[in-house]
Chains A and B, each alone.
Chain A
Amino acid sequence: MAAAASDQPAPSGLEQYLRPLRLLRHHKLTVTGAYVGTIGQTIVTLIIPQFVKWIVDSGIGGAPLHAGIPQWVANAIPPALAADTMGLVVASVTMLLLLSFVRGGFTYLTGVNSEVVSQSVAYRLRNALYHKLCSLSFRFHDQSTAGDLLSRAAQDVERLRFLTGRALLGIVNALFLMIATAAVLFAMDPLLAILAMLVIPPLMWQAWKFAKAYRPLSMEIQKQLGVLTTVLEQNLRGIRVVKAFAQEKAQVGAYNAANSVWFEHSADAAQMRSVRIPLLDLLAGLGSVVVVYFGGRAVINQSMSLGELLAFMTYLAQLIMPIRRMGMIVPFVAMAGASSERVFEVLDTKSAIADGEGTPPLPPIRGDIEFDRVSFNYTPANRAITDVSFELKAGEILALLGATGSGKSTLINLIPRFYEASGGRVLIDGIDVRDVQLHSLRRQVASVLQDPVLFATSIRENIGFGLDDPGQDQIVEAAKAAQAHDFIMEMPQQYDSRVGERGTTLSGGQRQRLSIARALIVNPKILILDDATSSVDTETERLIQAALDNLMANRTSIVIAQRLSTVRRADKILLLDQGRVAGLGTHRDLWESSSIYRSIYEGQLQR
């Protein structure tokens, strides 16, 4: 695999196609089935016109039986049959029918196998993407948008599916048929064959030229459609604000601008497309005119039979078809190249945080935490922390205080290694978090953060999220401790009620309690908590407070403190100012030593 990230130069054009095609090696047998099928199909297709010719020449035209067929075939025909012209026609027609059945079998074989192969490639790619995205660090997800990643997993993978399935098969089939037909045509009449096939080079050239010009345009259209989607989605998500400030007209204007660009590009593409297929047809038609004229002269000169001319025309028609099909495939193939780039860009991204070879798991922990001169530089200035050190014994509570952007969130994210410290060490029970498996670390550390994300499944599954196979008792117990049991029981389907899109059917307070239950059930030794509550009424506020008390009992907790009770209950308070430690100690220590602390504390009281 190539190195990391998006800043690396794009791989060569050919490589973009080879990478998805290499995935076919996992399905050797099926691929073989598909291609054997397509070759069989082609061979039968090539034989069929010979029967037509035969019937026309010998059956209708009354030519001698042996004209134009190999001697050994002629010899194989029983003399009795050869004498009876009508019998011969009937036999030929029967053969024709039989052959078409064989061809049908091959068609099915090809189709189903190629479908299985391409669907499997898509399946494999989607799984790989999913797996990769799960393993990529927070930093990656901070910098990417869900919509973009999703379109890679959906549209781009679909295009690669088409590439590895029907497109490749179509191309192989077309090439094979082309070469074989050309050979047959040559065998029948070399001069006429050359004349008829003069149209092929311009056909190929046209297809290539089209692909070259069409690809950037179609990518531009796709991109613009993405812009349209984003503009609309943003508009709808903020529709309250739009209406509140009476900005509807400006919003429609912005949309229309993007829409017009889209239309311009689409009209250009329509123009390109509208000429393509008719042009292929034209060139094909001209090929057949050449055959009618020169073939007709040959028949007049008696150097060719009428049946041969008909067969020749049939072959030519067959030759044109795959080329026409290739013409249709070409724009898709062109787009698949870009899709391949987008899919593999994600797959090639190296996770900034990953387990090394043979990293040991973190043994069951007591819960001591130590920050040893920890620094972290993240691009936005307000996320950095510098030289932070503190120690926390198992079971203690640390309250984090500081202004917005002072680095509190960054600090707590370093413990489960969502981000990695750029300097110093984060130690749990004396073990550097970088020296243990991520999974074993994170399963012993739970976080309850602002704006809890719930999944669109049942409440039961949301609460039991962190466990592999939670029992009903455990779930109810956690829900009770999180003060969520009562409202859950009031819902129509209780624990089986489904959570709506991003938890919209639940109020903020309810979501918060569910996320507390979710953390409680895994019984973490270390708890990371943002004790902010969204705007809730007094009763809910009390319930949440009780839930948080239950949550913090008997574990090491690091809390971004928004409320007095937390600060007062903390064993230690860490005061952050612009990413640096501005004070560390108990409430009493800090009250006496730190003016910043006093002003924060009073600030809260003055309200």
Chain B
Amino acid sequence: MSMSTSAYRSIVRSVRHNTPDSDDTEADVRFSRYILARLLAYLKPHKAKMAAAFAAMLLVTGLSLWIPILIKDAIDVHIKASDTQALLRISATIALAYGGTFVFQALQRYFMAWVGQRVLATLRLELVTKLQILPIDYHTRRIVGVIVSRVIGDVSVINELLSQGLIQLFSDVILLFGIVWVMLALNANLALLTFTVIPFMVLSTYIFSKKARDRFRQTRTLAADMIGNFAETLTGMRVVQAFGQEQKMTRLFDADNSNTRQANIHSMKLAFTFLPVVEIMSVVATCLILLFGARAAINNLEGITVGIVAAFLAYATRFFQPIQELSQLFTTMQSAMAGGEKIIEILDTDEGVKDPEDGRSMPPIQGRVEFSNVGFHYDESVAVLHNINLVIEQGQTIALVGPTGAGKTSIANLIPRFYDATDGRVLIDGVDVRTITQSSLRSQMGMVTQEPHLFTGTVADNIRFARPDAGMDDVIRVAKEANAHNFIVELVDGYETEVEEGATNLSVGQRQLICIARAILANPRILIMDEATSSVDTVTESMIQEALNRLLAQRTSVVIAHRLSTIRNADKIFVLDHGNVAEEGTHDELYEANGLYRTLYDMQFLDYQAELGIPAETPSANGLHPVAAATDLGTRQPRRT
């Protein structure tokens, strides 16, 4: 008689949706046929299991319609007729029907859950694979946490739609029509009378769902803010403590926390108003059945028996369940659609840089790099590079210098084809990089980035990143070459030391050395180096410099230069200005030429002198080039809007 089982379930479900990882746009999501079709396509490989689940569902629905009729017969026919034998038979039948329900229900649930989890795993894998293919540009514009929540959070919402939702939809609809049909067949008048409650039921459910959606969305936003606040503090915990701001931060968090609590209570108040309303309507239906059933029975009308009344009471209870579940399903589908939209968006993102149709590989690289009339701009923005022509001979080390935004990083990004040139061609050994596969190209190239990035895992794992099958002796050899061996063996577990999250257990210089070892082991034919040696102490710096020199030897190297020492040793220096090659040549040539390079150079020289003060007593006047210490030629990545 009570409705609370399904209503309870609906509340649990809405609370479960109340997680902070989905966005707040779902109310506006329409049931796009395209997205639905895309999502449903993931069920295709599981046709057999789906069909089995569907068949099981039909059987369960049929049985659950049949059982009340059997009970009615037991009461009306066999008990009234005092036929104990028949009562035993029908009891046994009911027991069997329950047994059947159990078997088929379990099968249906198992198949659907299995398919759901399988699809979930498949979707996640597809997303991860796609994310690997998407260009760097895609990633630089997105926050890692958001993508992670797409892959982990949104996908699981879709699972709910695909695994439980779909079959639930069919089962609810069939059950609803089945009950209506049986009730009409048992007694049309009494049935129609009972149905008068339906419009009120539907209306109140509709109003509730609408209101609830707004409130729950607000709750979700607040909860997301609160968790965001928590995460922020964890990241900046050292700063919080260093400035003694624990109390202030705790106060701020308390406000967010308290808002979330209030919003939750506010939302749930609505749910707990709705729950009694549903219960009362169900009781109203019961009352109608009893009242008119009784009247009819007293006046001997229309053949209404006690058994029919009992069956009606049973059906009336079940009857509201599918209606409510359908409304709940609607909500689930909405959030699944919202999640689905975002996931399909990722899967449909244009890859930008594509492999050629014929899948041709890059032959072993000799190392000659040529830019022929290369122009480049990021999406909508203005051109970053204009008509660049430059040649790097095999084995040369060249330096790219110039002020911020001159296009140094863009040139470096075009060689491994992180982007495609918008005009002209980039050639390696005379081969246009667009005509060969990216992996065949990049597996022969190496990169040392400005911020040394290490992955969690052991130090050895990080070194053998590009060659996971490399043996320990190789790892140690390159670590030695990279001047990293000595400090690595002093770590707690040597090469097996786990790198902590954010590599906090290693200094910046140590991270840099490991990255260099990684690049040496990869043994690239072309090396691109965003030189970043400024944030380490002097001793480490010279160790890094030494390691770099070993790395640069015997391969074509492109250095985005920060330090003049590297530039002075370079075979050629390209001075960039506003996306053009302003000057090129060796250090001496350019210095003599008295152009932009000379200007930059002299400016730094003055800085250097200023830094030294008047270097009368310093040991610097010993013939070494004075322009060393803290002089950069500017290498921030070009700013994009």
Contact = CB atoms under 8 A, between A and B. Distances in A.
A270 interface: yes
A86 B612 contact: no
A351 to B, nearest CB: 11
A45 B418 contact: no
Contacts of B297: 59-61
B628 A604 contact: yes
Interface residues of B, number: 190
A90 B291 contact: yes
B31 interface: no
Contacts of A260: 121
Contacts of B177: none
Given A296-B79, A446-B243, A455-B236, A289 B539 contact: no
A83 interface: no
B636 A321 contact: no
Interface string A116-134: 1001101100110011011
A564 B629 contact: yes
Given A289-B91, A564-B629, A310 B310 contact: yes
B350 interface: no
Nearest to A544: B630
A418 B145 contact: no
Interface in B93-150: 94-95, 97-99, 101-103, 105-110, 113-114, 116-118, 120-121, 124-125, 128-129, 131-133, 136, 139, 143-145, 147-148
A538 B604 contact: yes
Contacts of A62: 298
Find the residue from A86, A89, A292, A539 having the highest chain B CB count within 10 A. Answer: A292
B76 to A, nearest CB: 10
Given A247-B466, A536-B632, A565-B612, A142 B505 contact: yes
A416 B297 CA distance: 88
A236 B253 contact: no
Interface in A96-128: 96-97, 100-101, 103-105, 107-108, 110-112, 115-116, 119-120, 122-123, 126-127
B272 A245 contact: no
B30 interface: no
A561 B447 CA distance: 29
A153 B279 contact: no
A409 B309 CA distance: 83
Interface in A219-245: 225, 228-230, 232-245
A267 B94 contact: no
Interface in B281-316: 283-284, 286-287, 290-291, 293-295, 297-298, 306, 309-310, 313
Contacts of B604: 538
B75 A296 contact: yes
B416 interface: yes
A273 B109 contact: yes
A442 interface: yes
Contacts of A539: 634
B2 A321 contact: yes
A62 B299 CA distance: 11
A135 B247 CA distance: 10
Nearest to B639: A507
A389 interface: no
B594 interface: no
Interface string B194-235: 000000000000000000000000000000001110111111
A314 B1 CA distance: 8
A237 B245 contact: no
A405 B269 CA distance: 58
A108 B20 CA distance: 27
Find the residue from B20, B456, B535, B541 having the highest chain A CB count within 10 A. Answer: B535
Given A127-B253, A273-B109, A404-B510, A534 B535 contact: yes
A564 B611 CA distance: 7
B109 A274 contact: yes
Find the residue from B438, B540, B603, B639 having the highest chain A CB count within 10 A. Answer: B540
B338 interface: no
Contacts of A134: 233, 237, 240-241, 246, 249-250
A532 B536 contact: yes
A96 B287 contact: yes
B249 to A, nearest CB: 6
Contacts of A259: 121, 124-125
Interface stretch (B166-174, B258-266, B370-378, B381-389): B258-266
Interface residues of A, number: 189
Interface string A471-507: 0000000000000000000000000000011101001
Find the residue from B230, B439, B492, B532 having the highest chain A CB count within 10 A. Answer: B230
Interface in A426-477: 438-443, 445-447, 449-456, 465-466, 468
Contacts of B545: 607
A112 B443 contact: no
A508 interface: yes
A246 interface: yes
A296 B74 contact: yes
A312 to B, nearest CB: 12
Contacts of B125: 252, 255-256, 259
B591 interface: no
A248 B277 contact: no
B439 A249 contact: yes
A207 interface: no
A104 B277 contact: yes
A48 interface: yes
A347 interface: no
Interface string A147-187: 10110011000000010001000000000000000000000
Contacts of B136: 239-240, 243
Given A123-B258, A238-B453, A306-B79, A111 B244 contact: no
Nearest to B444: A246
Given A134-B240, A403-B539, A289 B294 contact: no
B310 A267 contact: no
Find the residue from B110, B248, B276 having the highest chain A CB count within 10 A. Answer: B276
B243 to A, nearest CB: 4
Nearest to B126: A252
A85 interface: yes
Contacts of B456: 230, 234
Contact of B632 (A145, A537, A560): A537
Given A403-B539, A404-B507, A150 B230 contact: yes
Given A233-B148, A274-B106, A61 B306 contact: yes
20 contacts: A92-B290, A115-B269, A134-B246, A141-B234, A154-B230, A240-B453, A241-B465, A251-B128, A266-B121, A271-B113, A296-B74, A401-B538, A404-B510, A439-B244, A442-B242, A533-B534, A538-B603, A542-B607, A563-B630, A603-B538
Nearest first, the 9 A-B pairs at minimum CB distance are: A537-B634, A104-B276, A111-B272, A285-B98, A270-B113, A244-B447, A274-B109, A274-B110, A246-B442
Given A89-B295, A604-B628, 20 more contacts: A52-B1, A93-B287, A93-B291, A96-B290, A108-B273, A119-B264, A146-B501, A259-B124, A263-B120, A274-B108, A281-B102, A292-B94, A309-B79, A318-B2, A380-B505, A418-B238, A456-B228, A535-B530, A538-B634, A562-B630
